[in-house]
Structure 1
Amino acid sequence: MFRQVYCFIILTIGAFQVKAQVGTYSTINFPNNYTNTITSALYTSNFRSGFIYQSNGSINYGLTGVKSHNFRFRWLAHDNGGIDYSTDTDQLMFLDGYGNLNLKGNLTANGNIGIGAVPTSDKVTIDMGSTRGVVNMVSDGDNAAYLDLKFSVKNTASIAADKPIFWEASLRKDGYFSADLTGPTLEFYAVKKNGAGYYAPLLFKSNGDVILAGARSATNGNVGIGTTDTRGYKLAVNGDAIFTKIKVKTYGGWPDYVFSDEYHLPPLSEVAAYVKEHKHLPDMPAAEEVEKEGIDVAEMNKLLLKKMEEMMLYMFKQQEEISKLKEQNEWLLKKCQ
């Protein structure tokens, strides 16, 4: 009985054996109800050579070409039928012989990456988890720069010649726009179209200084806080500001000339007549002008000091007159005694 069962098992296994292919074949066939092959081929013209496992469900893996022929390891997705090698529409990503990884390229609008997370509609999504996470870019660069982070415009046809085609944050050794050669600087700048120059509005020097201007004849903008219209001023603030100390540098014309012998001090009667007519002191702006244009702090301090010095001169003259009147009064008192 045992012998009969054993023979039945052997016969049963033999009935289901697949005849193996032996020898050298460019295609190895796997019997199934759909196309399922492993193909080996050499295409030196399109660099798609090597070992490929192909089925009507997917392309599982492939090795293509040697490095000298632009080696690529490709990940493909494909329905049943021939693979589209002409336009690469089946290609999901590839890794070339230089270590460059390309996801989708310009094949579709997809090809997003999720690191520590499921890919989202954003190109790159990184989930740092519950602990502190860092995205660290490290480079030794050369004697001019360490590394750059670039934001580029893809289609520049409609951009004017004096407008940026890309913005770049550059960790530099050469202080290109900051003129700082003492240590690495971080410089945020833009390159204008057609080589028309640069914008260099934000620079961080190696001593911690923040510079809102650039060397190399870069175009420098203005800074607005609480406003989008700087009205041509280097700094425009719409709101309150507080300082522990402020220094305004003037460029000459400090009113010490009021005390020179050549200075003409107008008579008080003229000043009184001017004030009566204009309702403000000579040389001082009117209220309407201040409300419209504001005031120049340095210029206003010069004007206020000038008026103060003129007041001192008037006081000196009045003191001289008071002293003379006092002397005359004393003389008259002596005469009357």
Structure 2
Amino acid sequence: MRKLFLLALLLSSATFFSTQVFAQSGGQNPSLIMYRWNGGGISPQPVVQGNLLGTVRWDGLTGVGSIKTGASIQSFVKNPVAPGFLMGNMIFRTSGAAGLTDRVIITENGLVGIGEMNPQYHLHVLGNTHTTGDFFGRIHFDNNANTNDAPNTYIDEAYFERKNRSMLSGGLALPVTAGDVGGILTLAPGGTSLDHQIYFGEDGMWTRRKTGNAADWTGADWFKMLTGENIHGTENQLTKFTGPNALGDSRLFDNGLRVGIGNSAPATDLDITGATRVNGNLGVGMLPTTFRLDVSGDSRLSGSAQVTGNLDVDSDANIDGSIQVDGNGRVDGRLVIGNPPTAPGSHMLYVNGSVIATEVKVELQGSWPDYVFANNYSLMPLSEVEKYVQEEKHLPGIPDAEEVAENGLGLGEMQKIQMEKVEEIFLHLIELEKRVKALESQNEQLKAENATLKAQSGNGAQRN
């Protein structure tokens, strides 16, 4: 048997002219050595990175003249070599339906990959694993989120065990059930930290805890965790705690499309049934600012609205009902009252209906007609006024009926024109008064002259 093995090694080495095999099958240090170099046998050269150091292969005869490899082990140089320094790996290959395939690798750094030929951990498995024996080690649960602790500082452990529940005494015991055996998970952070246990039984999950350095579980009561029998709820209805260990429906409904508060059939994205109170600032269509309510876009109030503070409307506002302002009111744009049949044009206030006020003040932008009393004012003679009225059927400077019907009547401008006409009338009256007084003076003079003539005429008649 030993001769056959040595013969196989010699045949294997014959395929690599730069590799020699040394074997010692007995003695104190039996070994099998594959020695690789580059170049000829007279002047051998060092191996280089990527060189195959050697192969151990298991072949089999599969037919007449057909020999196939069933498995092999290879080693490759994994670093630039230097005198006294060489790094190599080992690759285990087996032949399956796809032929000879890499299965396991041990890297030059001692990382082992099973199905993963580029392992990143000491044991890196690609695929499922199954363990039938005991596993000894630690599973770390670290809460030091802001530190970078070295692996050798971890002392926390997790235990997975099969337990008879009747043995888990100490405090308030587990209730006796038909299924007496279950699984238990123990989390032990170490030191004086609390050790926690979770027991998985047929009646649900139970938990207890005790200081990690305690000698037993005395005083550690078992408490039942929430399970299916404690959870009651309606589809799409958000849950709430209805007791210390029970869940039930809340008033919040969410079907993934719409949210309802107080109702289970929301008609909009958010549908609230009942009174609503917002203590902070609210933005609709925009981020909230310093105002209690900011609305970006059109808004509509179909009922009554009461605002105890300021109400600012930056765009158009249509009010179909009544509006009452107890404080100051300000409208920076146009104000239309009474639903007019036509657009108000450029006017700032449009009222379709009567207006009553105890006082109206109009501030004119132009000059008041005091210019009528200026010495250089050209006063139209009454004869020309008469002629103009006969032709135009209205006073000079006064809009006619057609213009008023089409464009309306400017209150301030009309007051100005009317005052101008009143002042012109007074000028005509003053002129007429002067003429009347002059005529009266002439009349008195004529009366005096007539009396003198009558007196002289009477005296002459007496002398005759």
Scaled by the length of structure 2, what TM-score is found? 0.39
User: 1:226 is matched with which residue?
Assistant: 338
SS of the residue aligned with 2:388?
Answer: helix
Contact 1:119-1:125 within 8 A present in 2 as well? no
Higher-Rg structure is 2
Contact 2:253-2:264 within 8 A present in 1 as well? no
In 2: Cα distance, 1:314 partner to 1:16 partner: 123
Out of 16, 21, 24, the position equivalent to 2:182 is 21
SS of the residue aligned with 2:416?
Answer: helix
Deviation at 1:232, TM superposition (A): 2.4
C-alpha spacing 1:265/1:136, structure 2 compared with 1 (3 Å): same
User: 1:210 is matched with which residue?
Assistant: 329
Contact 1:113-1:119 within 8 A present in 2 as well? no
User: 1:303 is matched with which residue?
Assistant: 417
C-alpha spacing 1:324/1:271, structure 2 compared with 1 (3 Å): same
Deviation at 1:252, TM superposition (A): 2.5
Letter in structure 2 aligned against 1:23? I
C-alpha spacing 1:30/1:244, structure 2 compared with 1 (3 Å): farther
In 2: Cα distance, 1:253 partner to 1:15 partner: 106
User: 1:126 is matched with which residue?
Assistant: 274
Q: What fraction of aligned residue pairs are identical, expressed as a percent?
A: 29
Letter in structure 1 aligned against 2:369? P
Deviation at 1:166, TM superposition (A): 9.2
Deviation at 1:145, TM superposition (A): 6.0
Contact 1:112-1:119 within 8 A present in 2 as well? yes
C-alpha spacing 1:149/1:323, structure 2 compared with 1 (3 Å): same
Q: Which runs of 5+ in 2 are unaligned?
A: 1-174, 186-196, 208-224, 241-251, 282-287, 301-307, 319-325, 452-464
Letter in structure 1 aligned against 2:312? F
User: 2:293 is matched with which residue?
Assistant: 149
Contact 1:226-1:237 within 8 A present in 2 as well? yes
Structure of higher RCO (CA pairs closer than 8 Å, 6+ residues apart)? 1
In 2: Cα distance, 1:283 partner to 1:232 partner: 24
C-alpha spacing 1:77/1:151, structure 2 compared with 1 (3 Å): farther
1:108 and 2:241 correspond: no
1:188 and 2:332 correspond: no
C-alpha spacing 1:290/1:200, structure 2 compared with 1 (3 Å): closer
Letter in structure 1 aligned against 2:184? G
SS of the residue aligned with 1:328?
Answer: helix
In 2: Cα distance, 1:310 partner to 1:39 partner: 108
Alignment coverage as a number of residue pairs:
217
Scaled by the length of structure 1, what TM-score is found? 0.52
Contact 1:93-1:104 within 8 A present in 2 as well? no
Contact 1:280-1:286 within 8 A present in 2 as well? yes
Q: Which runs of 5+ in 1 are unaligned?
A: 1-13, 32-36, 41-51, 61-75, 79-89, 95-102, 128-133, 153-163, 168-183, 191-198, 214-220
Contact 2:337-2:352 within 8 A present in 1 as well? yes
Out of 281, 293, 309, the position equivalent to 2:407 is 293
Contact 1:248-1:298 within 8 A present in 2 as well? yes
SS of the residue aligned with 1:303?
Answer: helix
Contact 2:254-2:260 within 8 A present in 1 as well? no
User: 1:239 is matched with which residue?
Assistant: 353
SS of the residue aligned with 1:21?
Answer: strand
In 1: Cα distance, 2:266 partner to 2:392 partner: 69
Deviation at 1:334, TM superposition (A): 0.7
Contact 1:225-1:236 within 8 A present in 2 as well? yes
In 1: Cα distance, 2:399 partner to 2:180 partner: 106
In 2: Cα distance, 1:119 partner to 1:106 partner: 9
SS of the residue aligned with 2:366?
Answer: coil
